[in-house]
Structure 1
Amino acid sequence: MQLELIKCHGSGNDFLLIDEFNHDIHFTEEERALLAKHLCNRQTTLGADGILFFQKSDKADARMRVFNADGSEASMCGNGLRCVARYAFDVFKKPLMSIETMKAVLEVEKDKEIFEGIPTFRVEISPVSFHVKDLPLQIEDETLMNKELLELSDSLKFTALAVPNPHLVSIVSKEVLQTNVQEEIATVVNGPNKLFPDGVNVSFVYPIEKGHIFVRTFERGVGFTNACGTAMSASSLVTCLQGFNEVEKEINVYNPGGMVKCVVRQEDNKYKIDLIGNGTYVFKAKIEVNLDDPGNFSLLSKEEFAEENEQYQKLQEHVERYLSEKM
């Protein structure tokens, strides 16, 4: 069969977007997993962190399903949601929309440019839970809030939360950020282990200055990634809880792929996060693929979005200059 797709990215976290909303396409769950494993392979002409399936919804304007490069399905993806918001805006021409995800219907909207010439979208990240059963994390306490997990480290403190993807966040120094500690911990909790039976995203956060943080994430099912939208949102919330930043105020979040802005919203004892950043198209392509053997697909056509990519490169250069001065 022939498939049309768009390669897109949020903060360098890249995806292949397949439109099932406007095309008569039907996949089995096994075919979705196989497509993700083979089309996202970096050794091919496509390559990505995952596939975004854009679908019809009975509850919202559209539905997003996300499959990681290892074939697993993610319950949520903040960077992917911004890309879907961009695509939905192109389809519906509406500045404010709702997108159904695995755990919730979330609001998305077109926003002012985060940097000149960058298509920018604000998406809602929720629900937020600190109950360890929602990750799950198998410890005796009901929550883990800025405490040690001696099985992982005797010097770092962690906060566990689901947004709704599971996240383990630690605020660290520049010196710790430059070591292999994060990779060692992430490898443990994403392999056979007693703490996180389903694995967990691991983020190290360095507070640069008030309103500015750097986040690096080892993403479950992916590994180290340029950026993880839910991780940047979770990390922003953790910095507010620990007094580094404030709720209802913009936080500039820098990452290896660029930057986003986050605003933590609090109502009573409940939180949600606005994630604001780019939804950039890299190229659109048409492929010929056999769903029984997707690894042997053929690239039929490819069209680059050169101007968008040039503008995003300028944003990356801006971020690199800032980080070189501050870190």
Structure 2
Amino acid sequence: MQIELLKGHGSGNDFLIIDEITNHYTFSEKDRVNLAKLLCNRETELGADGILFVMNSDHADAKMRVFNADGSEASMCGNGLRLVARFICELQEKNEAVIETMKADLKVGKRDEIFPNIHTYQVEISPVLFDVKALPLNWTKPVLVNEEIPGISDELKFTALAVPNPHLIAIVETEQLNSDLQKELSEELNRPNDICPDGVNVSFVKPLGFGAIYVRTFERGVGFTNACGTAMSASSLVTCLQGLNEYESVIQVYNNGGKVQCVVHHQAGDYNIDLIGNATYLYRAAVTIDIKKEAFTVTSKQELSEQQSYEKLQTEVQRLLKEKM
């Protein structure tokens, strides 16, 4: 099997993009799982947090399916969606598009640069659900908003929401960020357990002043990543719920991979979030794959130069975080 790939990242959250629209590939569900496990392995020449399969849709401009490095499928990925937004907008020569995802059709579009010479796209994060059954989360109440979870931590309060990926969000202090607490409780909630039977993304959020936050996320099926788009969106919403930030205002969201901007909308009891950030391409490659032998060979690779601009953003972000944290 021969496949052409495009590797890119959103906020340092990196993905292999497989274009099924112009290449007319045919994959079984087992193929998708195996490809994710094989190509995303960090010990190989490629490696990534996941694969974005870009497909035709019968009602939207395109369809996105996201497979994590462990072969599990994610219902959404905000950082990945920005890459797909760019791919489709450039392919179809338009500035706005609608992308079909597992749970919703989402509006995306090209936006002004978040930093000089960085391709920037806005994507819709929706639906937002607080019903614990949507995660699922075994809890004694219909929702979990800023409460302790007995047996998990006696020093943190969590808010649970699905966007539509499942998230647990905790507002923390710097000392808690610097401890092993997040790693320990995240690993507990992502192995067989009675609280989150399907696992959950766990984010620690440190306010950096009004209109700015830092977010670090342990992603279900991946572990710690540079950034998680849906987690940064959910975290922004939680800070609005707690009065730390305002609805309808731009929130600067910093992460280990860089930064994004979020705007939380609240109308008629419903929430949705705009996630605005980079869609940076790293390289194009062609690979020959032997699924049976669980092996592949990179037959060609073309490095791109966009990362140089993004590294300037990262340097600026690291300087700011040292000042704030």
Count of residues in correspondence between the two structures: 325
CA contact (8 A) 1:108 1:121 kept: yes
Q: Using the TM superposition, give the Cα deviation of residue 54 of structure 1 relative to its aligned residue in structure 2, in angstroms.
A: 0.3
Supply the AA of the counterpart residue of 2:321: L
1:1-327 correspondence runs (5 A): 1-293=1-293, 295-306=294-305, 308-327=306-325
- Secondary structure in structure 2 of the residue aligned to 1:192: coil
Q: Taking structure 2 as the reference length, what is the TM-score of the superposition?
A: 0.99
Structure-2 separation of matches of 1:130 and 1:323: 31
CA contact (8 A) 1:262 1:274 kept: yes
Q: Using the TM superposition, give the Cα deviation of residue 2 of structure 1 relative to its aligned residue in structure 2, in angstroms.
A: 1.3
> Percent of counterpart pairs with the same letter?
60
CA contact (8 A) 1:59 1:105 kept: no
CA contact (8 A) 1:86 1:121 kept: yes
CA contact (8 A) 1:250 1:261 kept: yes
After superposition, the C-alpha distances for 1:78-127 in whole angstroms (9 at most, x for unaligned) are: 00000001111110111010000000000000000000000000000000
Q: Using the TM superposition, give the Cα deviation of residue 140 of structure 1 relative to its aligned residue in structure 2, in angstroms.
A: 1.4
Structure-1 separation of matches of 2:98 and 2:89: 11
Structure-1 separation of matches of 2:219 and 2:232: 11
Cα RMSD between the aligned structures? 0.6
- Secondary structure in structure 2 of the residue aligned to 1:4: strand
Structure-2 separation of matches of 1:132 and 1:151: 18
Q: Using the TM superposition, give the Cα deviation of residue 156 of structure 1 relative to its aligned residue in structure 2, in angstroms.
A: 0.6
- Secondary structure in structure 1 of the residue aligned to 2:59: coil
Structure-2 separation of matches of 1:24 and 1:117: 32
Structure-2 separation of matches of 1:229 and 1:59: 25
- Secondary structure in structure 2 of the residue aligned to 1:274: strand
After superposition, the C-alpha distances for 1:199-242 in whole angstroms (9 at most, x for unaligned) are: 00000000011000000000000000000000000000000000
- Secondary structure in structure 1 of the residue aligned to 2:7: strand
- Secondary structure in structure 2 of the residue aligned to 1:159: strand
Supply the AA of the counterpart residue of 2:319: R
Structure-1 separation of matches of 2:30 and 2:55: 17
